[in-house]
């Protein structure tokens, strides 16, 4: 069994109360007493029993990571198919661990999942929740309901219409800037027909598209809808769309809304007999180092997942005052543009 505060108290010839005061850094205990107790605590590696603490109203050192699975019915989530998602999760775990917090992962799809989640908050089982995958506008109702209940939460890449409140902070990427940087770079290389492989209907995709459009317009190229194709961030559709964009040199450069689609564009270009970057230039978005291990040294716009995760954890722990945080986007050189 574990040693309890009671026993520590006995060993230090004080009462549990005093031990508790030391543990919780109360001011009203003399340095000498504190020191004596601390020594015993360390000697016996005493740590308060978390459940007992929670029961008295303190929150657990636990952050719940809520992953949306809008895949009705099946419980399996598709996060594992998205390298960006998986990296984010990995970084969140690391960041939380650094602050002495544990991440509990919960994938939510059905209504019962939500009530289970709600219970965790109500039970103070968790200090806060970090929500990812709630990127579509239609998912914001759910988020807003939780916000209304006053739970402490952080939402990464929220869809449109998220409430502003004191108990929620939204973390966004500089998506518009990302689109603008990428497109500007391609234009500066002398490309005239710069195409965009857009993402889906989520906000980040729309903003990346806006950045692209702004760069095109500022360069006097106007907005040519035939140079824009709407994908879904996945490879298969992107490949088909890229073929359309590149056939007959309709476009000579492509900015894709993520790296996965950029690689599809590269494959399409190669299959059409073009060389990269001599004939066709490609720029991705996110920068996924993992792709380098399979031979794709993509030029991309880097969104620092590590930074984002750190922001999220800090915000979850109340260490960030701003309720809207932006994760920087920056050019990442590669071999494809």
DSSP reduced 3-state for 222 = coil
Closest CA to 299 of 312, 319, 285: 285
Report the distance separating Cα 315 and Cα 324, nearest Å: 10
Closest CA to 8 of 28, 29, 23: 23
Q: Does 123 bind a copy of itself (CB under 8 A)?
A: yes
Interhelix angle 16-23/5-12, nearest 10 degrees: 110
- Max alpha carbon distance in the chain (Å)? 87
Contact region with a copy of itself (CB under 8 A), list: 34-42, 123-131, 198-206, 312-320: 123-131
* Residue of the chain from 1, 112, 225, 293 that contacts DNA (CB under 7 A): 1
Q: Side-chain half-sphere of 227: how many Cα atoms within 13 Å?
A: 22
| Residue 5 tokens, joined | 């505060």
Contact region with a copy of itself (CB under 8 A), list: 180-188, 224-232, 275-283, 287-295: 287-295
| Binding to a copy of itself, residues 52-111 (CB under 8 A) | 52, 54-55, 60, 62, 64, 67, 75-77, 79-81, 83, 86-87, 89-91, 93-94, 97-98, 100, 102-107
- 293: Cα separation from own chain's centroid: 23
Give the nearer residue to a copy of itself in terms of CB position, either 36 or 61: 61
Residues contacting residue 240 through CB under 8 Å, at least 6 positions apart: none
Number of residues assigned to the chain: 337
Give the nearer residue to a copy of itself in terms of CB position, either 44 or 192: 44
* Residue of the chain from 35, 43, 44, 55 that contacts DNA (CB under 7 A): 55
Report the distance separating Cα 111 and Cα 114, nearest Å: 5
Report the distance separating Cα 321 and Cα 314, nearest Å: 10
How far CA 308 is from CA of 82, 188, 286, in Å, comes to: 17, 29, 12
Q: Does 47 bind a copy of itself (CB under 8 A)?
A: yes
Contact region with DNA (CB under 7 A), list: 41-49, 77-85, 136-144, 267-275: 41-49
* Contact partner, 83, from a copy of itself, DNA, none, Cβ < 5-8 Å per class: a copy of itself
| Residue 12 tokens, joined | 């230090």
Give the nearer residue to a copy of itself in terms of CB position, either 44 or 223: 44
Torsion of CA 202, 206, 209, 210, to 10 degrees: -160
User: Closest separation between CB of residue 7 and DNA, Å?
Assistant: 8
DSSP reduced 3-state for 210 = helix
* Residue of the chain from 10, 38, 58, 330 that contacts DNA (CB under 7 A): 58
Give the nearer residue to a copy of itself in terms of CB position, either 44 or 218: 44
Q: Does 297 bind a copy of itself (CB under 8 A)?
A: no
Contact region with DNA (CB under 7 A), list: 47-55, 98-106, 143-151, 214-222: 47-55
Q: Does 15 bind DNA (CB under 7 A)?
A: yes
Using CB under 7 A as the binding criterion, the count of chain residues that bind DNA stands at 30
* Contact partner, 79, from DNA, a copy of itself, none, Cβ < 5-8 Å per class: a copy of itself
Report the distance separating Cα 169 and Cα 79, nearest Å: 22
Q: Does 218 bind DNA (CB under 7 A)?
A: no
Bridge partners, residue 300, by sequence: 332
Q: Site residues (CB under 8 A) for a copy of itself?
A: 1-2, 45, 47, 49-52, 54-55, 60, 62, 64, 67, 75-77, 79-81, 83, 86-87, 89-91, 93-94, 97-98, 100, 102-107, 113, 115-116, 119-120, 122-125, 234-236, 260, 263, 267, 289-291, 293-296, 306
């Amino acid at each position: 069994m574990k040693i309890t505060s009671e026993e520590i108290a006995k060993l230090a010839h004080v009462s549990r109360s005093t031990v508790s005061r030391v543990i919780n850094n109360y001011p009203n205990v003399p340095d000498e007493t504190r020191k004596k107790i601390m020594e015993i605590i360390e000697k016996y590696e005493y740590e308060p029993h978390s459940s007992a603490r929670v029961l008295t109203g303190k929150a657990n050192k636990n952050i719940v990571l809520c992953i949306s699975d809008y895949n009705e019915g099946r419980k399996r989530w598709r996060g594992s198919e998205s390298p960006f998602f998986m990296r984010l999760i990995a970084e969140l775990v690391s960041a939380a661990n650094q602050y002495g917090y544990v991440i509990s992962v919960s994938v939510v799809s059905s209504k019962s999942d939500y009530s289970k989640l709600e219970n965790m908050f109500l039970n103070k089982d968790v200090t806060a929740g970090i929500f990812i995958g709630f990127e579509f506008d239609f998912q914001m109702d759910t988020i807003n309901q939780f916000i209304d209940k006053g739970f402490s939460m952080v939402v990464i890449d929220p869809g449109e219409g998220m409430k502003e409140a004191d108990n929620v902070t939204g973390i966004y990427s500089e998506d518009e800037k990302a689109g603008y940087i990428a497109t500007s770079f391609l234009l500066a290389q002398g490309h005239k027909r710069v195409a965009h492989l857009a993402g889906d209907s989520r906000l980040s995709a729309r903003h990346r598209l806006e950045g692209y459009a702004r760069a095109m317009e500022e360069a006097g190229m106007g907005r040519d809808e035939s140079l824009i194709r709407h994908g879904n961030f996945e490879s298969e559709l992107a490949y088909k769309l890229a073929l359309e964009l590149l056939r007959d040199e309709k476009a000579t450069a492509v900015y894709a809304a993520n790296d996965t689609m950029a690689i599809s564009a590269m494959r399409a270009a190669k299959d059409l007999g073009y060389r990269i970057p001599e004939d066709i230039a490609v720029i991705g978005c996110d920068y996924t180092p993992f792709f380098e291990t399979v031979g794709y040294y993509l030029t991309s716009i880097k969104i620092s997942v590590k930074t984002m995760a750190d922001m999220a954890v800090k915000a979850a722990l109340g260490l960030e005052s701003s309720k809207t945080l932006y994760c920087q986007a920056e050019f990442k050189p590669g071999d494809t543009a």
